[in-house]
Amino acid sequence: MNGDVVRLYKGDPNQKTIYSSDPVQIAKKWEGFGADMIHLVDLDATLGLGDNYETLKEICQNISIPVQIAGGLRDVTKIANTLDFAQRVVIGTLLMQLKQSEQEQILLEIIAQFGKDRLVVSIDHIDGEIVTHGWQKNTGIKLLNATNEFANDGFSEFLTTNVSRDGTLEGPDIFSLEQVC
């Protein structure tokens, strides 16, 4: 966020902890510790406050392990441009919008264009209901229903976050993870 490495408390941009102003160095540090992949979220893009695209690209160019990128990837052009330097992208809002508007053909075209192995479905939730747009909009769709629908579409990679636990340092929501798995 704003070029810094941060942790938000329950997704609230007003409650953030800044860990570093050098994200490239932090990524190199994790690589040095033996991480086999790095997951990056562009919180500014997620919240519609701009983006950190060049910083994300710079991180990918300076480490040798795979990177998956999330945050604000809400159109095919952004997905394609990000996949030029990242190994995988995480998409949620766009996929949920396509599902809700019954535009299944576009969804299938995205899978065909990029391959399901490079696409991770974000199924973020609050109390079991899917949220989108940087966790700001509740869709009313149940976590398990969304997971099953996307699995039926051929997706096999999922990332789920219980927003009420995110950034709290309380550990993962094991109950929801067990349900999804």
- Summarised one tens digit per residue, pLDDT across range 29-77 is 999 999 999 999 999 999 999 999 999 999 999 999 999 999 999 999 9
Q: Give me 63's structure tokens.
A: 């480490």
Question: What pLDDT, on a 0 to 100 scale, did the predictor assign at position 145?
Answer: 94
Question: What pLDDT, on a 0 to 100 scale, did the predictor assign at position 65?
Answer: 98
- In this prediction, residue 98 has a pLDDT band, given cuts at 50, 70 and 90, of confident
Burial 120-132 (b: 16+ CB within 10 A, else e): bbbbbbbeeebbb
| Helix, strand or coil, per DSSP, at residue 10 | coil
Mean pLDDT of 98-127: 88
Q: Is the pLDDT of residue 3 over 80?
A: yes
DSSP 93-147: HHHHHHHHTT-HHHHHHHHHHH-GGGEEEE--EETTEEEETTTTEEEEEEHHHHH
pLDDT tens per residue, range 73-93: 999 999 999 999 999 999 999
Whole-angstrom distance, CA of residue 69 vs CA of residue 82: 8
Question: What pLDDT, on a 0 to 100 scale, did the predictor assign at position 109?
Answer: 86
Report the residue count for the chain. Answer: 181
**Could you give the strand order of the β-sheet that contains 137-142, starting from the edge strand earlier in sequence?**
125-126, 129-132, 137-142
Q: What is the mean pLDDT of the chain?
A: 93
Q: Which of 17, 75, 23, 71 minimizes the C-alpha distance to 48?
A: 71
Highest-pLDDT range among 19-28, 117-126, 131-140: 19-28
Spatial contact of 86 and 55, defined as CB atoms under 8 Å apart: no
Whole-angstrom distance, CA of residue 84 vs CA of residue 97: 24
Question: What pLDDT, on a 0 to 100 scale, did the predictor assign at position 135?
Answer: 82
Q: What residue type is 172 in one-letter code?
A: P
Spatial contact of 68 and 89, defined as CB atoms under 8 Å apart: yes
pLDDT tens per residue, range 147-175: 999 999 889 999 999 999 988 999 999 99
Instruction: Write down the pTM of the prediction.
Output: 0.90
Spatial contact of 62 and 91, defined as CB atoms under 8 Å apart: no
Question: Which has more pLDDT, 107 or 55?
Answer: 55
Whole-angstrom distance, CA of residue 83 vs CA of residue 13: 26
